[in-house]
């Protein structure tokens, strides 16, 4: 069973399983504990009714402390394992895994909102976020796909099938700050068949003034107002140069074997054809 104290002592494992360094995990834990108290107070039941027993009464659960609850939710979001595997890691049955996943997600969202690290979801409000920067901000726009269960409806299957990933997916467009490496904007969820540029056009993202936006070929032709875009260009093919070089004669003259072949009264043949001629003779 994975524990918070054990994982926090190993930075590499902590980053691999949660996506956060130990210091970042401690900072999030304090906000997460406050979120648990706000959303699920100790004097109320899960249904919101007044609790009849004192705190701690009854059977002790598998996730008694906020540390384990936070670790449980972060491991699922980072690695996205099957619920049966997550239950084996934390000592829970599959129904309880599903229960805690749904129960703890609002708490984690509230904690991230308290720390001010949630990405913006309103495309119009994104242009007003943070005010005017002292220098142009470098931002990167890209599409993000994640696999989903294959729909049973044929029409939904075609809509969610991504030709690039060769799988059924859901897709979002994200805008990240190149300097802080923070996701600043997250679009709504679209079907995997929708192109990245089409999502960006539908969202109508308003960028802060002076934004330098870097994009890939999936956003070819995307030129939003208020942002200067940069797209990497592929190197020119060198096939014509190579063919021209092959057509030119070597500066050192013909191959030495060519003179010997002509002197013997036979024409020089490629290696494979020469071996075949020798075999026939």
CA separation for the pair 199, 141 (Å, rounded):
11
With residue 67 as reference, give the H or E element that holds it.
helix 66-79
Residue 173 burial (C-beta neighbours within 10 Å; 0-12, 13-18, 19+): buried
Q: What is the DSSP code string of 98-135?
A: HHHHHHHHHHHHHHHHHHT-SPB--HHHHTTTT-S-SS
What is the longest distance spanned by two Cα atoms in the chain? 110
CB 199 within 8 A of CB 190: yes
218 Cβ neighbours under 8 A, 6+ residues apart = 142, 143, 195, 196, 197
pLDDT in tens, the chain (281 residues): 888 988 888 999 999 999 999 999 999 999 999 999 898 888 787 777 888 877 666 677 788 899 999 999 999 999 989 999 999 999 999 999 999 999 999 999 999 999 988 999 999 988 886 555 556 789 999 999 988 989 999 999 999 999 888 999 999 999 999 988 889 999 999 999 999 999 999 999 999 888 999 999 999 999 998 899 999 887 766 665 555 544 444 444 444 444 444 444 444 445 444 444 555 55
- Residues recorded for the chain: 281
Q: Are 43 and 51 in contact (CB under 8 A)?
A: yes
Q: Which tokens belong to 45?
A: 């039941």
Separation of alpha carbons 78 and 98, rounded Å = 16
List the beta bridge partners of residue 211.
227
| CB contact at 8 A, 174 and 145 | no
- Is 143 in contact with 169 (CB distance < 8 Å)? no
């Amino acid at each position: 069973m994975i524990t918070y104290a054990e994982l926090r002592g190993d930075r590499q494992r902590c980053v691999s399983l949660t996506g956060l360094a130990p210091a970042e995990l401690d900072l999030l834990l304090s906000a997460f504990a406050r979120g648990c108290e706000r959303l699920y107070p100790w004097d109320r039941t899960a249904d919101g009714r007044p609790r009849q027993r004192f705190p701690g009464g009854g059977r002790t659960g598998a996730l008694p402390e906020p540390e384990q609850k936070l670790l449980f939710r972060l491991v699922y979001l980072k690695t996205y394992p099957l619920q049966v595997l997550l239950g084996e890691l934390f000592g829970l049955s599959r129904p309880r895994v599903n229960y805690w996943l749904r129960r703890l997600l609002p708490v984690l969202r509230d904690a991230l909102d308290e720390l001010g690290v949630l990405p913006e979801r309103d495309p119009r409000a994104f242009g007003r976020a943070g005010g005017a920067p002292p220098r142009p901000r470098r931002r990167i726009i890209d599409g993000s796909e994640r696999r989903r269960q294959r729909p049973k409806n044929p029409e939904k299957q075609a809509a969610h099938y991504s030709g690039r990933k060769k799988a059924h997916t859901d897709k979002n467009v994200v805008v990240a700050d190149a300097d802080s490496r923070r996701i600043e904007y997250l679009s709504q969820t679209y079907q995997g068949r929708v192109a990245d540029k089409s999502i960006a056009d539908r969202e109508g993202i308003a960028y802060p003034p002076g934004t330098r936006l870097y994009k890939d070929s999936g956003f070819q032709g995307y030129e939003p107002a208020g942002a200067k875009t940069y797209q990497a260009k592929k190197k020119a093919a060198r096939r014509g140069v190579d063919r021209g070089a092959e057509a030119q004669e070597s500066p050192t003259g013909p191959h030495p074997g060519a003179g010997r072949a002509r002197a013997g009264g036979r024409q020089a043949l490629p290696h494979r054809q020469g071996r075949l001629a020798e075999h026939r003779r």
